[in-house]
Chains A and B, each alone.
Chain A
Amino acid sequence: MAPVAFLVSVAVFLLIHLTPGDPAAIILGEEGSASTIAALHKELGLDQPLTTQYAIWIARVLHGDLGSSLRTHQPVTQAIGERLPATLELGLAALLWSLAVAIPLGTVAALRRGSLLDVLASGFTVAGVSVPNFFIGILLILLMGLALRLFPVGGFVPFTEDPFQNLRHLLLPALTLGTAGAAINMRFTRSSMIEVLGQDYIRTARAKGAPWLRVVRAHALKNALIPVVTVVGIQVGSIIEGALVTETVFSWPGVGKLAVDGIFGRDYPVIQGIVLIAALSYMVANLLVDLTYAYLDPRITYS
């Protein structure tokens, strides 16, 4: 993991610094002049050579310090820490929604291949994957927020403050974020289920006279879920990236929104910190996926 993390740190540092746009000029905006920009460069340490800036940054990172935002001077770890709970809540809710739709629907579609339900499920998949989530978000805002007035159109209330309001604010962004995942997961469940249902051991189980439902649940589904777990693992690892657009559309105060603001403002330490943490969460998710395989398939063991 360490070499990968190091490569990620170099890549993100170089990419963001090579992107056109000057943080000082953006911060100063209308108020900027050659002299004020130069003064701010100096204050922010942007007048140093790139290699020096990287060395300073990576030395801090190794001590657990991601630096401070160029724009607000808030420590990056604190900024991410404040917003992480909101992002995790949204990401997990979206994941739950996607699995709650995908697994039953995918299973039924596989069992009733070619039926109307299967066709509809395939239609849902195409739509879910191809419609961008900002569009789904805006449709939900217009329908559920403006036309039906059932849910707030944006914002956030902490769960600890008012659980009911928290869930009301959560619903639309979670549906938005989870829909694409639901479509993908459903597709994987369906195709994997079809493959498993054609296996000899399923025929054997049925020949033994095991009840059909039990065969599906205990013999087929559990095995069919292995590829799904892989995909879900990637989705868990990408909660932060997935939330970029959704959090912006719904003004959800999470890490994704922090990243978007950081990118537009060329707030190097913020972007670097978030990308590093996102990369680490990918690695952790992959590890968890591997461990889950062993549970789902007893033939897999790790020594």
Chain B
Amino acid sequence: MRRAAVAIVLCLFAAGCGGGSGSNTTGTSSEGTPKAGGTLTFALESELRTLDPVVSTQLVERTVFYQMYESLVTIDDKLNIKPGLATSWVPSSDGLTYTFTLRKGVKFHDGTDFDATAAKFNFDRIQKAASSPRKSELANLDTTEVKDPQTLVLHLKKPDSTLLAQLVDRAGMMLSPTAVQKAGANLGLNPVGAGSGPFTFVEWKRDDHLTLKKNISYWGKQAYLDGITYKPITNDDARATGLKTGDFDIIRVAAGKDIAGIKSDSTLTYKDTASLGFQGIELFHGSGTFSDKAKAQAVALAVDRSQVLKNIFFNVGVISHGPIPPGSWAYDPSEKIYDQVDAAKAKAAATGFSFTLKVANTPDNLQEGQLIKDQLAKAGITANIQSEEFGSILTDTEAGKFEAALVGWSGRIDPDGNMYSWFHTGGGNNQGLYSNSSVDKALEDARTTTDQAKRKQLYDQAQVMLVQDGAYVFINHPVAAQISRSTLHGYVLYPDTMPRFVTVWKS
């Protein structure tokens, strides 16, 4: 299922983010005094599908949401949970209820007050939706209770230490009930007045442009920019060229081949930091070749990750040794299983077998597949590359019709989001049918424990086991990048790759 989805994200990432080791962080100093005014033109690599967070499935959609919608809680650039539309929250001792105190004086763009009734409306909307990806994110939510206008209580079916992290994104985004009801079925295309964020929706002309303007009644610190224009520019060359000519102020991703040119151009700014995702090879363990653990381990031993990072991703990003991304509190840089490529050891584990590796038919993916094929050949393993259009790979992997596929994951704020669904027996993204009862136990315990140190220990245990098993061949973590004109300032890089333009200004 979703792993195929990742392939798309992955293509985009692969195309765009390759290399450097998550280095730079935010620039707040040395950029001069912020100046108000000006409109930002932001080129995305694809058109959005919907502006309704309840049915949203695309990463590019979230780049708009984070400017006009707000969630109960938010994060800082170190992934710490911070107050958003809720100023504080208290979990009960049994972990079954969360009581949120909501921010006073917040109005939606249509003038509706934000209060506990409005918040309940949003949670109910997710629970009542015919189909919504948010439902599984809030699977543990039982009921929502309005205690008073400023107090909202979430009752859970069982303790869930990932709840707050889920609420940072679309599951926790608050829309004006009045605007939602007024827009009806048209909400996804024309969400007028629905948000409460620093920018308000103006218009969306599909395949052409989407415009937001500054919310002059914003409850928090106002944005510097007068507005933002989003443009879907699917062609990599056109996007990079438009950035150089100044047609665009910022682009979300650039092709790997263009990164060096962008870095060396003094009129442009390139910064990156490791994102939350991972990329590599998903293996099917249910039957066939990789039901033999030794073969999965042989592949993991034979892949030269640094060569892939250098030749395919132009050294943008970092080598991956497991599902926990470098920006996470659960990350342990000393855990480096399969750090060194070792063809001899791989041969000792298993050799002389062949398997089919599915890759998406984009240049970067095809090159990566070819390189991996060559690396595996040194250990006597034959990988037959099968390139398919992305939609087909998605369908095949979801149906379990694959031996191996080059697909990744865009990542989640809480480590659970990078592990449970992928590596727990029967997990939503575990299409490779990986199963290890010790891993399952650690992941389950980590979900119900609120002590972060204890959780880190459990995730460490799970990570060591699943990486050693060759559950998935981790290759690299992509980056969150700022690729903009150098006249753009105040941009803060978040590992979740989402821009927050409220702090951005143009000189």
Interface positions of A (Cβ within 8 A of B) = 20-22, 25-37, 39-40, 42-43, 71-74, 79, 82-83, 138, 141-142, 145-146, 149, 152-156, 248-251, 253-254, 257-258, 261, 264-266
Contacts and interface: CB of A to CB of B under 8 A. Distances in A.
A72 B189 CA distance: 8
A257 B231 CA distance: 14
Contacts of B3: 30
B58 A29 contact: yes
Given A20-B391, A149-B245, A152-B247, A36 B131 contact: yes
B394 A25 contact: yes
A83 B207 CA distance: 9
A261 B47 contact: yes
A155 B4 contact: no
Contact of B390 (A22, A31, A154, A264): A264
Interface string B188-207: 11000000000000000111
B233 A154 contact: yes
Contacts of A153: 238, 241-242, 245, 247
Contact of B2 (A33, A141, A254, A258): A33
B231 A155 contact: yes
B207 A253 contact: yes
Q: Is the interface of A mostly helix, strand, loop or mixed?
A: helix
A25 B4 contact: yes
Contact of B6 (A27, A30, A154): A30
Q: Determine which residue in B2, B50, B238 has the highest number of CB atoms from chain A within 10 A of its CB, and name it.
A: B238
Given A33-B428, A142-B241, A266 B5 contact: no
Given A73-B188, A153-B238, A248-B235, A31 B2 contact: yes
Contacts of B392: 20-21
Contacts of B390: 264
Interface string B434-465: 00000000000000000000000000000000
B484 interface: no
B228 to A, nearest CB: 15
A32 B241 contact: no
B286 interface: no
Nearest to A71: B49
B288 to A, nearest CB: 20
Given A20-B392, A27-B49, A154 B131 contact: no
A36 B245 contact: no
Contacts of B409: 30
B9 interface: yes
A161 to B, nearest CB: 11
A265 B132 CA distance: 18
Contacts of A34: 1, 398, 428
Interface in B224-249: 231-235, 237-238, 241-242, 244-245, 247
B102 to A, nearest CB: 27
Contacts of A145: 238, 241-242, 245
B136 A36 contact: yes
Given A251-B234, A253-B208, A72 B57 contact: no
Interface string B243-273: 0110100000000000000000000000000
B138 interface: no
Contacts of A149: 245
Closest 7 CB pairs of A and B: A29-B5, A31-B133, A21-B391, A39-B131, A30-B5, A253-B207, A33-B428
A257 B130 CA distance: 30
Interface in B1-29: 1-6, 8-9
